[in-house]
């Protein structure tokens, strides 16, 4: 049969009418179904109160069944009881991939590592109530997240237990590691948990090696190394999660251990020189910090400032660099009361530069000093010729920089330098805003200029630092002719002992420590003047001097720093970013002296870093001005 164009068009018209009728019928039935079946409620409903949170109820089922949960509102209020719940601490992206669960009737895709944790934690015969950030927070609502971040301290503190999920035990190491940890902890159970900072100086073996506790060279320590190599120890958020916990347990595959057991083991590791050398890595150092911050004494007069926390947490990682600040707001500090008001109100809409600028300006205005400047770390001498990733002014600390140096400033009043004393802090913000483009104007005085620079101390363990420290001493003695033993000692350590205290009392004990350290170095590399001074101290060097104590102090304070000499012939300890021609200045309100650099404009300044020059650390700058040997200057830093 032949189909004409006219008949083909007629058939198309009939087909079109049929399709239209079918669509009308389909719409009618959809309307009927919508009227008969209620709409499914959204996954996240608005929280009713400012102190409301959501809790996750994990319903019981067999291992091979789909995980089903419901979200329920709760209120963190002292006037009403909070349902008993556990809080989960874990790493979001420990394993790749996603998995499906059901939450409030919705299919929810979650990270594989979280799925593994919920799979392990789900009971077969009863429900379990937990707080899990990825599910209990509406991750798409920035306003809600900002409000909830202020409550993290309370969320983890009020949990009956914090469960740390370390991931699956793919190599069957968890039980071996935890058995060894328990055996070591059992050697400490009759001792109170404490925090000491001089662990490195004691080379006496403290842990009794046995069948359960192998010697440091034994391969049975490998599972313990794997434990502390877990990425969980490096994440910024876990600091407040573990330190705020009233009780915590670590779950690794099927094996579980109490946090206090790990803390007792850490005490033993840090008291045993040989085990410490074997095991100390980034993860264990972070674990030691968590143990330190968990101590009850830090809830009192010894609690750190928020600035101290930001510095010690440099080595932790954050997916969003704003979290280098926000992840610490739940910890108690001198400058922020988590029970009433945190140091800074989190705002997830702000850029990294805006957050870091707010911290810097609030810190200076709150403390009325320039301690903040001592935490600005520039490692590249040409830092001012290219933009940094965060796009910050030169004077604001970039908390994404992981170079952690031992600070030259003193925390307590009795251990502080006073290079900028004699005149009050005079700060002006140009323009007067919290913008990261703001310039800060400070008053002070130019004291000297940089002429010669040592290469700087590269990172190396204290145990392997003798060669580099010897070379450093040789450079100092060659470029600072006639320098005295005490001035050399004080310059290399910023006049501090290894614990950060001033230790130059009238009995010269610390100079004796330094002399004992120099006695471990080849005499031919020191020169006759220093050797004569050491000889003049007599037998006191052997009877009183502690060479290890001085060696540790020199190693600590010269790491990531450079020695330099000035036009006036002064030996100085300063930043590795220093260049010839940079100026040494005192700024009113600052503990330290500072290295600064003229900007390309010729009118503004770039901040380089803090420095120490012996004899100029107690207000001598204002005396130089009074004598006419220096003049007051306004520094506009960009």
What per-residue confidence (pLDDT) applies to 427? 83
- Mean pLDDT for the chain? 87
**Tokens representing 525?**
């590399």
What per-residue confidence (pLDDT) applies to 475? 96
pLDDT at 389 over 90: no
Using an 8 Å Cβ cutoff, are 148 and 156 in contact? Answer: no
What per-residue confidence (pLDDT) applies to 340? 62
Average pLDDT over residues 140-162: 92
- Measured CA to CA, the distance from residue 316 to residue 633 in angstroms comes to 39
**Tokens representing 343?**
């140091």
**Tokens representing 249?**
């347990």
Using an 8 Å Cβ cutoff, are 416 and 545 in contact? Answer: no
- Measured CA to CA, the distance from residue 322 to residue 347 in angstroms comes to 9
Q: Using omega within 30 degrees of 0 as the cis cutoff, is the peptide bond preceding 431 cis?
A: yes
pLDDT at 332 over 70: yes
What per-residue confidence (pLDDT) applies to 130? 98
pLDDT at 66 over 80: yes
Q: Three-class SS of residue 9?
A: helix
- Residue 354 sits at φ, ψ, to 5 deg, of -65, -40
Average pLDDT over residues 280-289: 92
Q: Which residue has the tokens 């901040």?
A: 607
* Residues 14-56: tens digit of each pLDDT: 445 555 555 555 554 444 443 344 446 889 999 999 899 999 9
Four-CA torsion 390, 392, 396, 402, nearest 10 degrees: 20
What per-residue confidence (pLDDT) applies to 4? 41
pLDDT at 279 over 70: yes
* Percent of the chain's residues with pLDDT above 90: 63
Domain spans in the chain, listed from the N-terminal domain onward? 1-39, 52-140, 360-454+577-637, 462-558
By the 10 Å C-beta count (0-12 exposed, 13-18 middle, 19+ buried), 394 is classed as buried
Residue 394 falls in which region: left (phi positive, over 0), alpha (psi -120 to 50) or beta: alpha
- Measured CA to CA, the distance from residue 105 to residue 69 in angstroms comes to 8
Average pLDDT over residues 221-228: 98
Of the candidates 362, 358, 310, the residue with the CA atom closest to the CA atom of residue 333: 310
What per-residue confidence (pLDDT) applies to 33? 41
Q: Three-class SS of residue 492?
A: helix
- Measured CA to CA, the distance from residue 240 to residue 243 in angstroms comes to 5
CA 91 to chain centre: 16
Q: What is the model's pTM? A: 0.82
Average pLDDT over residues 351-362: 93
* Residues 74-95: tens digit of each pLDDT: 998 766 778 999 999 999 988 8
* Residues 530-564: tens digit of each pLDDT: 999 999 999 999 999 999 999 999 999 999 999 99
Cβ count near 29 (within 10 Å): 9
Average pLDDT over residues 333-358: 82
């Amino acid at each position: 049969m032949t189909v004409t164009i006219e008949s083909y068009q007629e058939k198309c018209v009939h087909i079109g009418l049929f399709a239209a009728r079918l669509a009308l019928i389909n719409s009618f039935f959809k309307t009927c179904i919508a009227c008969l079946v209620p709409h499914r409620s959204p996954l996240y409903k608005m929280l009713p109160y400012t102190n409301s949170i959501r809790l996750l109820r994990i319903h019981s089922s067999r291992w091979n069944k789909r995980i089903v949960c419901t979200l329920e509102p709760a209120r963190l209020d002292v006037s009403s009881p909070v349902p008993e719940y556990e809080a989960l601490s874990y790493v979001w992206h420990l394993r790749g991939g996603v998995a499906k669960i059901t939450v409030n009737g919705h299919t929810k895709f979650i990270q594989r590592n979280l799925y593994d944790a919920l799979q392990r934690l789900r009971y077969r015969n009863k429900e379990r109530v937990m707080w899990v950030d990825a599910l209990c927070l509406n991750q798409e609502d920035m306003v809600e997240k900002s409000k909830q971040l202020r409550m993290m301290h309370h969320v983890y503190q009020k949990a009956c237990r914090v469960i740390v999920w370390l991931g699956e035990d793919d190599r069957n190491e968890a039980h071996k590691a935890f058995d060894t940890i328990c055996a070591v902890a059992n050697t400490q159970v009759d001792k109170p948990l404490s925090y000491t900072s001089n662990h490195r100086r004691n080379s006496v073996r403290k842990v009794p090696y046995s069948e359960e506790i192998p010697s440091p060279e034994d391969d049975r320590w490998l599972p313990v190394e794997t434990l502390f190599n877990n990425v969980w120890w490096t994440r910024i958020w876990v600091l407040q999660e573990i330190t705020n916990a009233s009780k915590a347990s670590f779950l690794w595959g099927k094996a579980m251990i109490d946090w206090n057991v790990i803390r007792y083991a850490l005490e033993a590791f840090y008291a045993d020189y040989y085990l410490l050398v074997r095991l100390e890595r980034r993860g264990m150092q972070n674990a030691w910090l968590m143990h330190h911050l968990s101590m009850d004494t830090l809830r009192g007069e010894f609690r750190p400032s928020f600035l101290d926390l930001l510095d010690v947490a440099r080595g932790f990682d954050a997916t969003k660099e704003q979290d280098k600040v926000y992840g610490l707001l739940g910890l108690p500090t001198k400058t922020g009361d988590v029970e009433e008001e945190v140091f800074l109100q989190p705002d997830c809409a702000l850029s990294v530069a805006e957050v870091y600028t707010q911290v810097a300006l609030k810190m200076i205005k709150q403390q009325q000093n320039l301690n903040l400047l001592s935490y600005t770390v520039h490692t590249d001498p040409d830092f001012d010729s290219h933009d940094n990733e965060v796009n910050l002014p030169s004077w604001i600390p970039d908390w994404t920089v992981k170079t952690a140096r031992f600070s030259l400033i003193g925390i307590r009043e009795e251990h502080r330098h006073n290079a900028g004393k004699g005149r009050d802090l005079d700060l002006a913000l140009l323009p007067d805003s919290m913008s990261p483009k703001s310039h800060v104007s400070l008053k002070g005085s130019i004291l000297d200029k940089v002429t010669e620079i040592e290469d700087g101390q590269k990172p190396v363990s204290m145990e392997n630092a003798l060669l580099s420290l010897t070379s450093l001493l040789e450079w100092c003695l060659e470029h600072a002719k006639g320098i005295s033993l005490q001035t050399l000692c004080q310059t290399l350590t910023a006049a501090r002992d290894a614990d950060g205290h001033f230790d130059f009392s009238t009995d010269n004990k610390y100079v004796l420590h330094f002399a004992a350290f120099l006695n471990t170095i080849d005499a031919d590399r020191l020169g006759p003047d220093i050797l004569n001074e050491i000889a003049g101290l007599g037998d006191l060097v052997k009877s009183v001097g502690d060479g290890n104590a001085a060696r540790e102090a020199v190693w600590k304070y010269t790491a990531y720093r450079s020695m330099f000499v000035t036009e006036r012939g002064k030996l100085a300890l300063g930043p590795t970013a220093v260049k010839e021609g940079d100026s040494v200045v005192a700024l009113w309100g600052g503990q330290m002296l500072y290295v600064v650099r003229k900007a390309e404009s010729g009118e503004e300044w770039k901040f380089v870093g803090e420095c120490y020059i012996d004899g100029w650390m107690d207000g001598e700058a204002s005396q130089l001005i009074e004598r006419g040997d220096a003049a007051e200057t306004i520094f506009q830093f960009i």
